[in-house]
A = this chain, B = another copy of it.
């Protein structure tokens, strides 16, 4: 059983590592020269608009999935004509690729979002700013990730030149949320419609990049968990979704406000490799292959620290009990996710005691687990 994966980054690598023990082998479609999957699967290297290459990629496959949300929808739709099963559905990808479509869709499913407005000219920007108030965040509608394509407008003066600086790309303006916490829910839906949700994760971003995830979220109560699960279910069902989906939230005034969704396995779910009965990667594969979903129960408490830009000395991690190193085989570059470390413990306090000293060892801890 060969599973086709569009994209060949670290998410592809971790999908393969989860699927190989289940008897699967992998074929990746990745345009870039450097990938994280060379040596752990076949690879087709071509552009997403190369129909011949997509055809070669599809040959003999029963299932295609993706690990990269900026795959052109047309490529996914074309593959759906060649391969019996392409999951998640192309519609989910289309929704997630455009912030305006995404937020409109989320609100239609009853998922609250920060107030926002479509902006396609400087005049519209000024009008939206007047209506929503400042501070606000101007975000391009498409191709944003890890904080790219976003600018915070704090005062009237920041409006000057902001539209030109953004290159005039279709955007949204969103009320700035002075959130108490950031959270995310990982949810998975099987081909049979069965749904399972992981415990809510508490996240910490800096410069738009996820730095730390702690799960189960130490400051998130059962009420927020139920609220997040309700939102996830509504989204999964509306999309006829199959696979893992992540929704990132702000917690403001004790309520969840959706920030964005990702129709794929997600960085804030990496802790599930060691910290849950079934990892997000295995559950995504189980879902897209039509196998029963696995338990999403937490196994102890976990903190996941991203390794960004340059690798720190990992000795302190190797010497720590129940700490797990994951390197993606990428070359160093500022802002690039090169790997992550998951630290697990039997309780939240024991976890905090383990993670805190890593700050002194050059790791960006960012958030006290408790």
Cβ distance A334 to chain B, nearest Cβ, rounded Å: 20
Q: Which of A3-35 contact B (CB under 8 A)?
A: 13, 17, 20-23, 25-26
> Chain B contacts of A326 at CB under 8 A?
21
Q: Which of A132-153 contact B (CB under 8 A)?
A: none
Is there contact, CB below 8 Å, between B315 and A297?
A: no
Q: Decide if A253 is an interface residue (CB 8 Å cutoff).
A: no
The residue in chain B whose Cβ has the minimal distance to the Cβ of A26 is B39
Copies in the complex: 2
Is there contact, CB below 8 Å, between B318 and A286?
A: yes
> Chain B contacts of A291 at CB under 8 A?
318
> Chain B contacts of A42 at CB under 8 A?
39
Cβ distance A324 to chain B, nearest Cβ, rounded Å: 8
The residue in chain B whose Cβ has the minimal distance to the Cβ of A41 is B39
Q: Decide if A178 is an interface residue (CB 8 Å cutoff).
A: no
Cβ distance A207 to chain B, nearest Cβ, rounded Å: 25
Q: Decide if A127 is an interface residue (CB 8 Å cutoff).
A: no
Q: Decide if A237 is an interface residue (CB 8 Å cutoff).
A: no
Is there contact, CB below 8 Å, between A21 and B325?
A: yes
Convert A228-260 into 0s and 1s, putting 1 for each residue whose CB lies closer than 8 angstroms to a CB of B: 000000000000000000000000000000000
Of the A-B pairs whose beta carbons lie under 8 Å apart in the complex, a sample of 23, sorted by A's number, is A13-B20, A17-B17, A17-B20, A17-B21, A21-B324, A21-B327, A23-B329, A25-B329, A26-B39, A39-B40, A39-B41, A39-B42, A40-B40, A277-B321, A277-B322, A286-B318, A291-B318, A294-B321, A295-B321, A295-B322, A297-B321, A299-B299, A299-B322
Q: Residues of A at under 8 Å CB distance from B?
A: 13, 17, 20-23, 25-26, 39-42, 277-278, 286, 291-292, 294-295, 297, 299-300, 315, 318-319, 321-322, 324-327, 329, 339, 344
